[in-house]
Amino acid sequence: AQTVTQSQPEMSVQEAETVTLSCTYDTSESDYYLFWYKQPPSRQMILVIRQEAYKQQNATENRFSVNFQKAAKSFSLKISDSQLGDAAMYFCAYSLYGQNFVFGPGTRLSVLP
Amino acid sequence: EAEVAQSPRYKITEKSQAVAFWCDPISGHATLYWYRQILGQGPELLVQFQDESVVDDSQLPKDRFSAERLKGVDSTLKIQPAELGDSAMYLCASSLEGPQREQYFGPGTRLTVT
């Protein structure tokens, strides 16, 4: 079975600085999808960024980018110019052909003013 | 902006009782998901529907949990009988069809079993 690991239960970053959240996963498949979701306090979970495994180019969405290392099964999220609104739980997730969704345990990110 | 609706938002029930949760996905979203999120953990997929058909219920405890989406629109998740370990947030999400599609999550139902 696929597993997703996030080794950093909590992280903090100064406002305007850059932070990287780690994610590793285990799969024997070659074609799959990876996601980062954000869950702000008492608010709905929302998608931050997604990556298709067969695409070598790292995905980027404004201040959010990923470092996808397929051979190492690593999928880290970099947040640049951190803002107070970035404070949330961040979940890394894996999907195989749009099914078998598996979420990691999450990393709580605090942004310090 | 369209949102996923869930009700009730909070539910307290005694163990051995039956409990049901309702989800109304975003209009036009063929795929619907039910997740269980224990406090401090990531969501765990319980069941995934494509229209009215179940495509993944491998993690659904079928001895006590059931889910249906009879007309391929709204969905109900039922627990009977509830156990203390079922206390959690139950999240519903929906998406358009396709493996890379964004899931839109509802606000969740927080269940407390006493």
Residues A44-86: tens digit of each pLDDT? 999 999 999 998 899 999 999 999 999 999 999 999 999 999 9
Provide the token pair at A102: 């598996």
DSSP state of A17: S
Task: Report whether pLDDT(A1) > 80.
Answer: no
Task: For chain A, say whether B71 makes contact (Cβ under 8 Å).
Answer: no
Task: For chain A, say whether B83 makes contact (Cβ under 8 Å).
Answer: no
The confidence score (pLDDT) of residue A97 equals 81
Closest CA to B23 of B5, B10, B48: B5
B67: alpha, beta or left? (left if phi > 0; alpha if psi -120 to 50): beta
The confidence score (pLDDT) of residue B84 equals 97
The confidence score (pLDDT) of residue B34 equals 98
Q: Which of A34, A45, A96, A100 to mutate to test the interface with B (most CBs of B within 10 A)?
A: A45
Nearest CA to CA, how far is B15 from chain A (Å)? 26
Q: Which helix (H) or strand (E) holds B83?
A: none
The tens-digit pLDDT sequence of chain B (114 residues) is 789 999 999 999 999 999 999 999 999 999 999 999 999 899 999 999 999 999 999 999 999 999 999 888 999 999 999 999 999 999 999 999 887 788 999 999 999 999
The confidence score (pLDDT) of residue A111 equals 97
The confidence score (pLDDT) of residue B70 equals 86
> Helix, strand, or coil here: B84?
helix
DSSP string, A30-99: SS-EEEEEEE-TTS--EEEEEEETT--SPPEETTEEEEEETTTTEEEEEE-S--GGG-EEEEEEEEETTE
Mean pLDDT of A77-101: 94
Q: Name every residue whose Cβ is closer than 8 Å to that of residue B29 and which is 6 or more positions away in sequence.
A: B94, B95, B96, B104
